[in-house]
Copies of this chain bind each other. A is one copy, B any other.
Amino acid sequence: MEVLKFPSLDSCSDALSGAINGRSCCIIGGNCRVWYTGRAESYLEFGERILFLKGDGTVIIHQKEGNAPINWMPADSVSQCFIRDFKLVILSTLPKDGQRLKVEFDRVNFLNSFRLEDGVTLVSAGSEKDMAIMLYNNPDLIEKGFKPISLEEQTAFGFIDVFGYDKNNFLVVVECKRYAASLDAVTQLRRYVEKVKSMKGIDNVRGFIAAPKISPNALKMLEGWGFKFVKVEPPKYFEDIKKKQTTLKNFG
């Protein structure tokens, strides 16, 4: 790391303790090793990483590359820190299940302690649910004469994206996928269809997968079960969101 003077481990321990007690945030960059035990066990030898402690107890450790943290602790974790053997030690534990993390810094290159003021949540569009809504409002995308009757229905037989009748009044189950439908999507559809059949005591229930594409194996299995694939692009965003959030258009 190209940093001029390193803060002392003592001062870091003080700052970090202050952040923990005050439920504020702290970012530490330095040389450390990491142990985790809980849902699995892991050990990471010494190397330079970033540790991010949040006010809600979350701890995130990042290496120099990659999207995902190499180690972490969930919100509500309880942390403490101290100096031992000339190292800054951070211990975090999640009380409800006992999983814990230990980090040892032998050198801290920088430390920032701060509060974040932020009460804003994300506005987004383009989920699988948005796709189901689109199909509900444009049933011909599935098939001419399709009459949807419910959306994201939580039933005793599961969670069905779009449910309805075809033009011959046979029941129709539609499973949506935003990306390529996989073998999993087909088995999921099959499970719903069979459950509907047995619950309703009828034999003719049709199944559709609506997705932009489907893997060859999945298509084979789908057709083997007498189901159909309908190519549907997921919606990017919706008119109402576009109108409300004019900022969405300000991009670029």
Question: Are B102 and A44 in contact, with the CB atoms below 8 A?
Answer: no
Scoring A46, A62, A117, A245 by chain B CB atoms within 10 A of each residue's CB, the highest score goes to: A62
A236-249 CB contact bits vs B (8 Å, 1 = yes)? 11000000010110
Is the C-beta of A58 less than 8 angstroms from some C-beta in chain B? yes
Q: How far is the CA of A236 from the CA of B37 in the complex (A)?
A: 9
Is the C-beta of A199 less than 8 angstroms from some C-beta in chain B? no
Distance to closest chain B CB from A38 (angstroms)? 9
Distance to closest chain B CB from A117 (angstroms)? 5
Distance to closest chain B CB from A252 (angstroms)? 6
Distance to closest chain B CB from A217 (angstroms)? 6
Question: Are B237 and A41 in contact, with the CB atoms below 8 A?
Answer: yes
Given B48, B65, B117, B122, which contacts A43 in the complex, CB threshold below 8 Å? B122
Is the C-beta of A114 less than 8 angstroms from some C-beta in chain B? yes
Q: How far is the CA of A116 from the CA of B109 in the complex (A)?
A: 10
Number of chain A residues whose Cβ lies closer than 8 Å to a Cβ of chain B: 80
Question: Are A27 and B25 in contact, with the CB atoms below 8 A?
Answer: no
Question: Are B115 and A41 in contact, with the CB atoms below 8 A?
Answer: no
Give A contacts to B, CB under 8 Å: 1-3, 24-25, 27, 29, 33, 35, 37, 39-50, 52, 54-56, 58, 60, 62-67, 70-72, 74-75, 91, 100, 102, 109-110, 112-127, 156-158, 178, 183-184, 187-188, 190-191, 217, 221, 236-237, 245, 247-248, 250-252
Nearest 6 pairs of A and B residues by beta carbon? A40-B126, A47-B118, A64-B116, A42-B124, A187-B187, A48-B116
11 extra interface residue pairs, beta carbon distance < 8 Å, beyond A52-B62, A67-B74:
A3-B114, A27-B112, A39-B178, A40-B124, A40-B127, A42-B123, A64-B115, A64-B117, A67-B75, A109-B114, A187-B188
